[in-house]
Structure 1
Amino acid sequence: MAGSSVIVMGVCACGKSTIGEQLAKKLGRKFIDGDDLHPRANIQKMSSGQPLNDEDRKPWLERIRDASYSLESKNEHGIIVCSALKKVYRDQIREGNENVTFLFLDGDKQLILDRMSKRQGHFMKENMVNSQFETLERPDAEPQTIVVSIDTTIENIIEEAAQKLIAQNEAVL
């Protein structure tokens, strides 16, 4: 089997980093937090409470796509965290990559707002939740996409995601 990547995606505060890191450990994969791949200008913009626009996201999505390509080309398997809210963003990540699966962490706005109120030390501000939901294009019908509800425990989310990846022949325990 060639290298592959799973892009853990969803709106802010859905648990992408936590789920991605723990899922990578469970499946024995590399973990890459896409937030670490943002250019400086994006981090500064988000830190000041401004949402990113499509032009801001282009270089970031290129870095995500390249990380996925690197995994494939080196016959490695990884979990990459990236919000990937629009189909065009996901298509950009898919471009030139054959073994990319998107794992959509699905939760409603009230659940996300509840989680945001408990977060500390993250550059995403609560007032950006509306922007995230307005931008989100649900990937329900896209190929190589798995949807997991986040309205449960972290352990249950990781277990369901792992089982769905295994069912899609994307991972083995």
Structure 2
Amino acid sequence: MSRKVLVLNQDYSALTICSMPKAFLLVYLNKAELVAESTTEKLHSITQTFPFPSVIRLNRYVYFPYKGVVLSRQNIFKRDDNMCQYCGSKDHLTLDHVMPKSRQGRTSWDNLTTACKYCNSKKGDHTPEEVGMSLKRRPFKPSFVMFLRNFSGILDQQWIPFVGSKMEQIV
């Protein structure tokens, strides 16, 4: 029952990911329609069998003014694959300002990256170029759909028509 379901707005744009019980309840109460169901699983009650939702679409349009990814430590780590962007280590991770804060570096998607404690202290109050370090990937702000697709850790094959495949990068 821990499977996740993609929720689409009435216009078929990706809105969020919810739990399977929540998705089933929305469909059962006629607040959403089933767009795609699991081909391998079914939901069973004592007397009935129901389709196991994979993608649902809300019956009413939900106005969602800000469709962005919240800047947080966990989301930076997810974007950077929980790996130091200087040496590739996955241990003792911290956040690093590429342009140091002491030099008016901002706390933003484009200036924060994941670094291990060793690389972060080696870089110190300098830019990576000044100390001969290079980034594996420049920091960027992921789009909402990219975050749902690539960084939620879940990608059901039936979601691909609505969020694209992991291979398609939107940068």
| TM-score, normalization by structure 1 | 0.22
The structure whose residues are more often strand, as a share, is 2
The structure whose residues are more often helix, as a share, is 1
Structure possessing the higher radius of gyration over alpha carbons: 2
Larger relative contact order, structure 1 or 2 (CA cutoff 8 Å, min sep 6) = 1
| TM-score, normalization by structure 2 | 0.22
